[in-house]
Structure 1
Amino acid sequence: MQMSEGMRVIEATEVPLGASSSDDTLMEFIKAGDQRAFRELVTRHLDRVYAVALRILGNRADAEDLAQDAFLRLWTARERWEPGRAQVGTWLYRVVVNRCIDLRRKSRELAVDEVPDVADDAASAVTTIHQGEMSRKLDDALTALPEQQRAAVVLFYFEDLSNAEIADVMETTVAAVESLLKRARKKLRDVMRGSEADAYHLFDA
């Protein structure tokens, strides 16, 4: 997945930028219109931002559009960026989650056939679920969850965020996140009941 060619950026003076540069350092150069810094930030975060959108929406085209939109919003708001107020990754997650929730509320009929299997190296409990029918059943169960519950589940199980980090992304309290996850787990357990025991117990409180 690549960013749109339509985005115009300014090439800045040659400076040493790369994987070792922090997000805040990159943002300082991006504020000045540095193209290479922006490309490095996109390379660093695009895959995970896209994965979150895809898991919430279940549609590749919409997920790609929303991921690109998040970076476009970051670019257009770059001059207002203040280091220390929020982590770049958290800000991007917040934009994507909010846009996904808005889109799902507008259109409830989302395709689930294109939702990919969880990557082998994903740091989450859901990676233990067997492939095939079990994965499809879980995708259906996730799609049926209310928007905010699904977002919380995706961030917790697929992105391995803590409750506090999810609360920051969703701009709510840790208690509210715990409540969302508790209700989501109950619904997922109900759907997965009668399935293989290891998948069912993944969603024990």
Structure 2
Amino acid sequence: MITDNEKTLRFRKFFLENFPKVKAFAWKILKSEDDAEDIAQDIFVKLWDKPELWIDRDRWDSYLFSMLKNYIYNFLAHKSVELHYIEDTAEKIRLSELDVENDMTEELYAKEINLLLKMAVEQMPEQRRKIFVLSRYRGLSNQEIADKLQLSVRTVERHLYLALQDLKKIILFLFFLCLR
């Protein structure tokens, strides 16, 4: 049975002989000094808890490097999952930003079109504007408008037709303007 002091001395010797080799091997694969050092340290911490693997062992090199290869494999697999998660998250964020941007753009276009339509209604002759407002904004029927303004239903229909034609021209103009 070995004492704790002996165990510490043997591990120190084992560590000093092998840590640089393990770290160098990990660096060759990972091309990252920090990752190579982290993996090498993890391996030696695990080995400290299992002295039977390194005390009085003549050929521990194969076990040590098998352990290292498994650590590197697991590390790379974890990095791959992590990278995939980051890419998915970035894509979701990018799409949500596009949705917000599209929503804001659509809202802005809708406000601009609404403003242009209001301006067009304000530019209509007074009688046509009154009839249009009563019909579209207040929801009155053609008969109700005719009774209220003391006009024939046919006159109301004609004014509504002309008002809608004016607005249609503006909408078509905006449509062709947006296609450019």
TM-score in same-fold range (> 0.5)? no
Q: Select the structure that is richer in helix.
A: 2
- Answer with 1 or 2: which has the greater Rg: 2
Q: TM-score, normalised by structure 1?
A: 0.31
